[in-house]
A = this chain, B = another copy of it.
């Protein structure tokens, strides 16, 4: 895998992120890598001419400067299949990010020299009343349209009615997402080599355990009440459901998100999250 082009994005609310992104842009240009830049940051880093909407990106790899939120937003917008991501940690929440700002140039050099591992992360595919939603790297969340309204839902697995649940919300999380919002709601961690996803209720009215499903199963959530409900993908993409008894269908996506890593480290990152946690959402 040889990288000749890069897509560059960064959180757009942080001067240090801009500075680092600019430094990276200069270095990559110097190395002869062609660049596309997130329009939201292009001007801030003096790259107005390289601005390309994320929906049109086709680079060989992507660099994100920020936290998990920056990655999640990027993955939702870019065309599939996704090029691998080098994630620079400049956010307070960084379960997915790896590279520290001080190590940025060294990390880019390793990338360009092909000295890295690829971590492939499974994603969750959801559709609402037949309309596909963006894949989730972390989780799909279903709730009422406002806080403190109970969600009444009926569950099907592969077309067979299995259970009913009443809760603040329902989370369906991937391996990656299992360490985030889902674990905060009481869900298990899914080892990255498992072939499953997990449904975790948030504040269920009566005790209701998380359930782990095989990745090829199709989970259908029929929303009985309230009249207006909400699906949120990775904390970023929100869709109101206003039809009567909408159905959200969830399974494992054919797509993956790939991260450029310099060591195998799922449990190392898990340990960091368990002991010195840094955050969960975008």
Note all chain B residues with C-beta closer than 8 A to A275. 206, 276
| B residues in contact with A200, CB < 8 Å | 188
The distance from the CB of A68 to the nearest CB of chain B, in whole angstroms, is 12
Q: A163-B270, A188-B188, A279-B205 are in contact. Are A147 and B230 (CB under 8 A)?
A: yes
Contact residues in B for A196 (Cβ distance below 8 Å): 191, 194-196, 212
Give A173-208 as 1s and 0s: 1 = Cβ < 8 Å from B's Cβ atoms.
000001001011111111101111010101111111
On whether the beta carbons of A198 and B217 are closer than 8 Å, the reply is no
Q: Which residues of B contact A150 (CB under 8 A)?
A: 279-281
CB distance from A229 to the nearest CB of B (A): 10
Are B205 and A184 in contact, CB atoms less than 8 angstroms apart? Answer: yes
| Chain A residues touching B, range | 35 or more
How distant is A221 from chain B, measured CB to nearest CB, in Å?
15
A214 sits at the interface (CB 8 A):
yes
The interface bits of chain A over 110-135 (1 if a CB of B lies within 8 angstroms of the residue's CB, else 0) are 00000000000000000000000000
Nearest residue (CB) in B for A273 is B206
A267 touches B232 (CB 8 A): no
Q: State the majority secondary structure of interface residues on A.
A: mixed
Closest B residue, CB atoms, query A142: B147
**Could you tell me the distance between the alpha carbons of A205 and B211 in the complex, rounded to whole angstroms?**
18
Q: Is the CB of B146 within 8 A of A146?
A: yes
Interface contact B214-A191, CB-CB below 8 Å: yes
User: Which of B145, B193, B232 makes the CB contact (< 8 A) with A214?
Assistant: B193
CA distance A190 to B213 in the complex (A): 7
Contact code string A151-167 (vs B, CB < 8 Å = 1, else 0): 00000010010110011
Min Cβ gap A112→B in Å is 29
Q: Is A209 an interface residue when CB atoms closer than 8 A count as contact?
A: yes
